[in-house]
Amino acid sequence: MQVDLIIQARWIIPVEPASVIHENYSLVIDEGKIVDLLDSQEALLKYQPRSLEKLENHALIPGLINCHTHAAMSLLSGIADDLPLMDWLQNHIWPAEQKWVSEAFVRDGTDLAIAQMLRGGTTCFNDMYFFPEVVAQQAVQHGIRANIGLIVFDFPTAWAENADAYLTKGLALHEQLRHQALISMSFAPHAPYTVSDEPLQKLRTFADEMDLTVHMHVHETAFEVAEQQQKTQQTPLQRLNDLGLLTPSFMAVHMTQLDAEQIAFFAETGAHIVHCPESNLKLASGFCPLAQCLEAGINVALGTDGSASNNDLDMLGEMRTAALLAKGVAGNAAAVSAMQALQMATLNGAKALGLDAEIGSLSIGKAADVVAIDLSEIETQPIFNPVAQIVYAASRQQVSDVWVAGKQLLKKRQLTSLDLADLKQRAAVWQQKLAG
C-alpha cells in the first residue's frame, strides 16, 4: 500500500495510552492522517512511502497545544517587566495597545509568535486577541492549527466599540471561517472584571446554539477575586456559574485563587482549567493548586499566556515549570509526573478545546500533528526514560521537525513557511516604534 510518509524514530510516545513508549517504531501518514503505528521493519514491508524520514536519535510526540496565548503580544515581550498584574496591565500594556494595536501589528506579531511556536514544537494554539480575523488568516497562511478567540469586552478597543459590536463581529467571523480545516473557534470574553452580565448571557446562548467553547481569564489574582466579591457579593466563579457558563465547554484560564471547596465544585461542572505557571510566577499572581485539581478529576491543560508576561512561547519550558512547581506547592515530589505534564501539553489541551477526536495523541485516525525532538544532544544524555528527558532536560532548540496535518512546517530546524530574516526585520521596526 502506497502512503505519503513514514517517519521512523528511536522512540514514539503516543501519549494515549499513557504508559506506552514504543522503541524503533514508525508512524505511517497518508492524506494528513495517522494510518498506522508499528515496528519499523514491519512498516516497510507493509507500506511503500512516497517519502521516508529516518530519525534515529529522536523521540516523536504529539504536537504541543498552547491552550492559552495572545499571539500578537510577542511584539510586547519585555516592554514592562517585573510588575504586578494590574499595574502591568492598566499602566503599561493597555496604553501601548491603545496606541499601537492595528491589523498590521496583529499580523506581524502573530507571524513572530507562529515562528517561535513552531520552532518549539507547538502545532496548535488557542488565541485571545484583537483582530482575530488577522490571526486566523496568518495561521492558515502558515499551516499551523489555531483555535481563534472571538473576543468580548464591555469597553471600546481598536477592534470594536462595545460588547454588542464584539459579538456581532465574532458571529460574522465564525460564519466566514467555519469551513477552514485548521481553524476552530471559541467565544473569548476577557475576564469577569471586563465583561458584564448581559453580554455573558448572550454569548452563552450563542455558544450553546453553535456548539462553541468559551475561553476566559478567571480567578487570576487575589485582587481580582476580592474586587469582584465587593462589587457583586460573589466570587467570579459563583457569578459565572449563576450565568450558566461553567459547563464542559468552558476553559478557565489561570485559576490561582482556589480553595478545596472551590476545586470540588469546579470539578463537578466538568469545566477545564488552563494552567499558565510561568506567567503566574512572573506576575506574582499566585499558584494554581495543580496537584489538587488533577486529583479532583479536573482536566487541566497548559498555556504560556502572551509573551508580554512570560516572556516566551516555550511549551517545553512550561511543562517543566508546571511539573516542578506542582511538586513544590503540593509538598510532594510524586505530584505531577513527567508523563502527566506531557499529557497536559497535548491530550488535555485537545480535550479542553473539544478537539481530542482529532489531535492530542499519536493515534490511528487522528491528524498527523507530530513533533520530533533530537535527544542525542549532550544535555539529554544518558537516556533512561525519554519522557523524563523531554520534560526535565530537553530545550526547544532540540525540536528538529514539525508536521501539522502531515505537512512539514519545520525541517531540521528550518521553517518551511516563514522567512526568519523578514520576521526579524519586522520585529525591529516595531521595537523602534514601541520604544519611541
Higher pLDDT, 94 or 194: 194
Query: Does residue 383 sit in the same domain as residue 326?
Result: no
- Residue 135 domain flag: yes
DSSP string, 155-211: S--SS-SSHHHHHHHHHHHHHHHTT-TTEEEEEEE--TTTS-HHHHHHHHHHHHHHT
Query: Does residue 114 sit in the same domain as residue 186?
Result: yes
Query: Does residue 300 sit in the same domain as residue 329?
Result: yes
Query: Does residue 39 sit in the same domain as residue 130?
Result: no
- Residue 431 domain flag: no
Phi, psi of 272 (to 5 degrees): -110, 155
Rounded-to-integer distance, Cα 346 and Cα 365, Å: 16
Query: Does residue 159 sit in the same domain as residue 208?
Result: yes
Q: H helices within 332-419, ranges in order?
A: 338-344, 347-353, 386-392
Query: Does residue 15 sit in the same domain as residue 138?
Result: no
- Residue 88 domain flag: yes
Rounded-to-integer distance, Cα 413 and Cα 115, Å: 11
Rounded-to-integer distance, Cα 430 and Cα 436, Å: 10
Rounded-to-integer distance, Cα 88 and Cα 82, Å: 8
Q: How would you label 245-283 residue by residue, b for 16+ Cβ within 10 Å and e otherwise?
A: bbeebbbbbbbbbbeeebbebbbebebbbbbbbbbbbbb
- Residue 26 domain flag: yes
Number of H helices, E strands in the chain: 17, 16
Rounded-to-integer distance, Cα 198 and Cα 420, Å: 44
Query: Does residue 92 sit in the same domain as residue 132?
Result: yes
DSSP 3-state of 362: coil
Write the pLDDT tens digit of every residue in 380-395. Answer: 999 999 999 999 999 9
Domain span holding position 107: 65-353
- Residue 358 domain flag: no
Query: Does residue 204 sit in the same domain as residue 319?
Result: yes
Residue 144 banded pLDDT, cuts 50, 70, 90: very high
Query: Does residue 337 sit in the same domain as residue 348?
Result: yes
- Cβ neighbours of residue 286 closer than 8 Å, sequence gap 6 or more: 221, 222, 256, 257, 280
DSSP 3-state of 212: coil
- Residue 428 domain flag: no
pLDDT for the residue numbered 294:
98
Whether 151 shows a pLDDT value over 80: the answer reads: yes
Query: Does residue 100 sit in the same domain as residue 20?
Result: no
Write the pLDDT tens digit of every residue in 42-96. Answer: 999 999 999 999 999 999 999 999 999 999 999 999 998 998 878 888 899 989 9
Write the pLDDT tens digit of every residue in 228-251. Answer: 999 999 999 999 999 999 999 999
Residue 201 banded pLDDT, cuts 50, 70, 90: very high
pLDDT for the residue numbered 421:
97
Cell numbers placing 284: 506574582
- With contact defined as beta carbons under 8 Å apart, do 50 and 3 qualify? yes
pLDDT for the residue numbered 274:
98
Count of domains forming the chain: 2
CATH number of the domain that residue 373 is part of: 2.30.40.10
Q: Which residue has the cell 482549567?
A: 273
Query: Does residue 123 sit in the same domain as residue 19?
Result: no
- Residue 121 domain flag: yes
Pairing of strands 22-30, 272-275: unpaired
pLDDT for the residue numbered 84:
83
- Residue 188 domain flag: yes
CATH number of the domain that residue 272 is part of: 3.20.20.140
- Averaged confidence pLDDT in the chain: 97
- With contact defined as beta carbons under 8 Å apart, do 120 and 314 qualify? yes
Compute, in degrees rounded to 10, the torsion defined by CA atoms 252, 302, 113, 313. Answer: 130
pLDDT for the residue numbered 119:
98
pLDDT for the residue numbered 108:
98
Query: Does residue 50 sit in the same domain as residue 116?
Result: no
